[in-house]
Amino acid sequence: MERANDSTFSGFILLGFSNQPHLETALFVIILIIYCLSFVGNGTIILLSIVDAHLHTPMYFFLSNLSFMDLCLTTCTVPQTLANFKGKDKTITYGGCVTQLFIALGLGGVECVLLSVMAYDRYAAVCRPLHYMVNMHPQLCLQLVVTAWLTGFGNSIVHTALTMTLPFCGKNQVDHFFCEVPVMLKLACTNTSINEAELFAVSVFFLVVPLSLILVSYGHITRAVLKIKSAQGRWKAFGTCGSHLMVVIIFFGTLISMYLQPPSSYSQDVNKSIALFYTLVTPLLNPLIYTLRNKEVKGALRRLVRRNRDLRQS
């Protein structure tokens, strides 16, 4: 790659919110608090899914993978952002930028596929309840999760290579708080129309196709639930899907507003705010939504607390 016009190139400068320095201290505190809460929330879901036998079901296997993915995403971007807020040196090495781009892009793809897998799981639970454990057997669940991870990171390998082999001609100021494809395309000193078309095509594949599958699944779920005569039964069935549907709306709404438009038309301030929400707030909302709206998770948490209390007293 033609990294720069001279051999002194050492990396990129992440401008972040440096054009609004009065916000940096407040943002540092807010981001640190949200990151810690997100780490605790997602870590708790992973722990409960492992130690509580009541949660050894396909739904919580997928949910624990979603929480692990969220932990990886926030850890990929937040520590560098916090370091840039508090230090004068806002650089990231070339290798660090490639790694950040690769991981963030891969995890985004994984979550898109994983959320569609979770929608299929809810379809199987509501529409085929008698055959649920037969259809969603452990081998199939593992295969679906592995497919999600391989698809997301397979795409990331290709797209990271296509982006980072562009000539930047010495431009190294990234107007963002982490390395992201649309922002890196703006640095290129060559025509990026092919890259933009590839980005749009990949975005359609990872956003529109999974979202369409999710909507089809929920169409079948809604039709099945409306056939239930008991109002209590209908609310219970909708309750098992409400948390997942809320996460889908937040996640896909955020990414569609980021990627299904030409990078040249981005407003950087708006884009940075959306990216901050996607990489920081969404991973926090996921455990909150699944915990506060889910009796099984709250029950598992109470059992874990009670078990620890009994151990201390014995």
pLDDT single digits (tens) 214-264: 999 988 888 888 877 777 767 766 666 777 788 888 888 888 877 776 555
Residue with tokens 């950040």: 100
Which range marks the domain in which residue 137 is found? Answer: 12-262+281-299
Query: What percent of the chain shows pLDDT beyond 90?
Result: 26
What is the domain-level CATH number for residue 93? 1.20.1070.10
In angstroms, rounded to a whole number, what is the distance separating the alpha carbons of residues 307 and 203?
45
In angstroms, rounded to a whole number, what is the distance separating the alpha carbons of residues 136 and 144?
10
Which two tokens mark 302? 């109470």
> Does 164 score more than 80 pLDDT?
yes
Reported confidence tier of residue 4, pLDDT bands at 50, 70, 90:
very low
Query: What percent of the chain shows pLDDT beyond 70?
Result: 91
* Inside any domain, residue 272: no
* Inside any domain, residue 311: no
* Inside any domain, residue 101: yes
In angstroms, rounded to a whole number, what is the distance separating the alpha carbons of residues 135 and 57?
12
* Inside any domain, residue 253: yes
pLDDT single digits (tens) 8-62: 456 888 888 777 777 778 888 999 999 999 999 899 889 988 988 888 889 889 9
Average pLDDT estimate for 279-293 = 79
* Inside any domain, residue 230: yes
Q: Select the more confidently predicted residue: 116 or 238.
A: 116
How many residues would you count in the chain? 314
> Does 3 score more than 50 pLDDT?
no
Q: Quick one: pLDDT at residue 33?
A: 93
* Inside any domain, residue 59: yes
* Inside any domain, residue 254: yes
How many domains does the chain fold into? 1
Handedness of CA 67, 71, 74, 76 (dihedral sign): negative
* Inside any domain, residue 269: no
> Does 107 score more than 80 pLDDT?
yes
Q: Quick one: pLDDT at residue 2?
A: 45
Whole-model pTM: value is 0.85
